Amino acid sequence: MPIDRLGNRAALPDDYQGMTCESCRDALSARLDGEDPGAADAVVDRHLAGCAACRAWSAQLTAAAGSLRLTPAEKVPDLTAPILAAHRRRAATPGPARVALLLVGLAQVVVALPSLLGDADGASVHVAREHGAWELALAIGLVVAAVRPARTTGLVPLLAVLTTALVVSTGIDVASGHTTAMAESGHLLPLMGLAMLVLLRRWTPTPDAAVPAA
């Protein structure tokens, strides 16, 4: 190790003004981030003046930070319009459709009562009561949907399948003479209920509905 004339250890290449290169670079990084460098600026600057390696490192650090700061922000979709549209749909839930759906549900209760009371209409009492139980369940579902339109989502596919099956089977029975269109007019209630449900579903977003992308 080099020794000066007084017998002291000679200064190391990275030792300038009492500051090592490592501590200088830590101070430079902190100063660039607006943090406490942990050393006086004059001490750091004196080290830089005598250390080419730290000057090069400082220049690279400044250039890298500048490029990061000047990087343009990524474009994000403007969701203002979809959010406002969803709010307007929620606020503008059609009252007449809810009233009509409530009336359809209550009418369906009236239709279900005879079967629940055992009016077999050519079938066994057990079959009639089972049929009445299904009709009552449908009626309650329609009433609940009228009171809470946001709950229409699960009822729409169920009622769509039911009404489709009723229309097809009724059409076959009427065409074959097993019944008349007038006798099957009660099936119009589920059809009306489905129409009201679709209308309410269109205008009433569910609570967990995601905002559509712009």
Between CA 94 and CA 52 the distance in angstroms is 76
Lookup: tokens for 146 = 């009228």
If one counts every other C-beta atom within 10 angstroms of the C-beta of residue 50, the result is 13
Question: What pLDDT score does 209 carry?
Answer: 45
**For 36-71, what is each residue's pLDDT tens digit?**
888 888 888 888 888 988 888 888 888 777 665 555
Whether the predicted pLDDT of 212 surpasses 50: no
More confident residue, 17 or 191: 191
Global pTM value:
0.45
Residue 20 CA: distances (Å) to CA of 7, 55, 114: 22, 13, 97
Domain ranges of the chain: 15-69, 80-203
**For 198-208, what is each residue's pLDDT tens digit?**
877 776 554 44
Whether the predicted pLDDT of 11 surpasses 50: no
Question: What pLDDT score does 29 carry?
Answer: 84
Please, is 73 exposed, middle or buried when counting C-beta atoms within 10 Å of its C-beta (0-12, 13-18, 19+)?
A: exposed
